[in-house]
Amino acid sequence: MNELADGDGGAPESLDAALATLGTGTLSVRLARGEDDILAAQALRYRVFYDEMKAKPDAEMARLRRDIDSFDEVCEHLLVCDTARGAGPESIIATYRLLRGTTARRFGRFYSAGEYDIAPLMGYDGELLELGRSCVDRDYRGRPTMQLLWAAIAHFVFHHDIALMFGCASLHGVDPESLALPLSYLHHFHLAPEEMRPVALPHLHVGMDFMPPDDINKKAAVTALPPLLKGYLRLGGFVGDGAVVDHQFNTTDVCIVVKTDLVSGKYYRHYGRLRTEAGNAEDGGAANGGA
């Protein structure tokens, strides 16, 4: 990790210890510990985004068979590992990229700013966390892996006192009209309040209100959403104004915003329990296409 990625000196030991308690069976979760971990995460992203989802790599990425951009050096990388595959980078089976506001301001930008005007979020009172590059190996796309990722993000959120999470989330395909049902549902029923609403940049903006609200079959619309987007909505998430077609990743993107104090129902109780456990660990001296 370089200086920017380390932020305030890397993952505090208490956070490492908290993440270490989340494992189940042969699966465990942790933050990347060095270059080999990041290279393995990039290789996993390449297999999922480019081999499987048919994103379009540049020549260097195709040669290396890794998904690479400048944000990798400054982000923290959340990893799920399967020890049945080994003890090194070969064990990494899922990843999420995390960029805290304090780091992004030193770096100069957030990834989402390439698609959205996120100025309404920049004045928000509290620390920000941008989520992105989420992917899971084809053989591990079940409940245990996603539970580990979300539980780890919960620990990260409370450890760093994150007030607002956001990031670009993707629907597969580059024809927004073919996604009229889920996009219209998101626009009419989950649009962010104006004071915290990202807006797609003018030259990229695709209107999402293809259908009037009365014509939307909500159950069918939710079924059409990718699991990750449904997970954000369960956390009380909103979407920004407008979708963006990402031809490189073969996706149509929306900007998700989640206020951590709006996390609802069982998720709020789940996050609160994790926060208490993390606090107890610290008191006892126990010292992540799209974005």
Range 3-283 has CATH code 3.40.630.30: yes
pTM value is 0.86
As a whole number of Å, the CA-based R_g of the chain is 18
Distance CA 278, CA 20 (A): 11
pLDDT band at 290 (very low <50, low <70, confident <90, very high): low
Query: DSSP states of 162-191 as a string?
Result: EEEEEEEEEEE-S-GGGGHHHHHHHHHHSB
For residue 181, is pLDDT > 50?
Answer: yes
Query: Which of 200 and 273 is assigned the larger pLDDT?
Result: 200
Instruction: Give the confidence band of 144 by pLDDT, cuts at 50, 70, 90.
Output: confident
Token representation of residue 211: 């259908």
Query: How much is the pLDDT for 286?
Result: 26
How many contiguous H segments (helices) and E segments (strands) does the chain have?
11, 10
Check: CB of residue 230 under 8 Å from CB of residue 140. Answer: no
Q: How do residues 10-62 score in pLDDT, each as one tens digit?
A: 455 588 898 999 988 999 999 999 999 999 999 999 999 999 999 999 999 99
Domain boundaries, the chain: 3-283
Q: Strand 116-117 to strand 76-82: parallel, antiparallel, or no bridges (unpaired)?
A: unpaired
Chain length of the chain: 291
Give the pLDDT score at 89. Answer: 85
Structure-token pair, residue 117: 């005007």
Alpha-carbon dihedral 176, 180, 186, 188, rounded to 10 degrees = 120
Q: 216-264 pLDDT, tens per residue? A: 999 999 999 998 899 899 889 999 999 999 999 999 999 999 998 765 4
**3-class state of residue 269 by DSSP:** helix
For 52-106, write each residue's pLDDT tens digit: 999 999 999 999 999 999 999 999 999 999 999 988 888 999 999 999 999 999 9
**pLDDT on residue 263:** 58
H helix intervals, the chain: 3-6, 13-20, 35-45, 59-64, 101-107, 119-122, 143-159, 180-189, 218-224, 227-234, 265-283
**Across the strands, what pairs with 251?**
172, 246
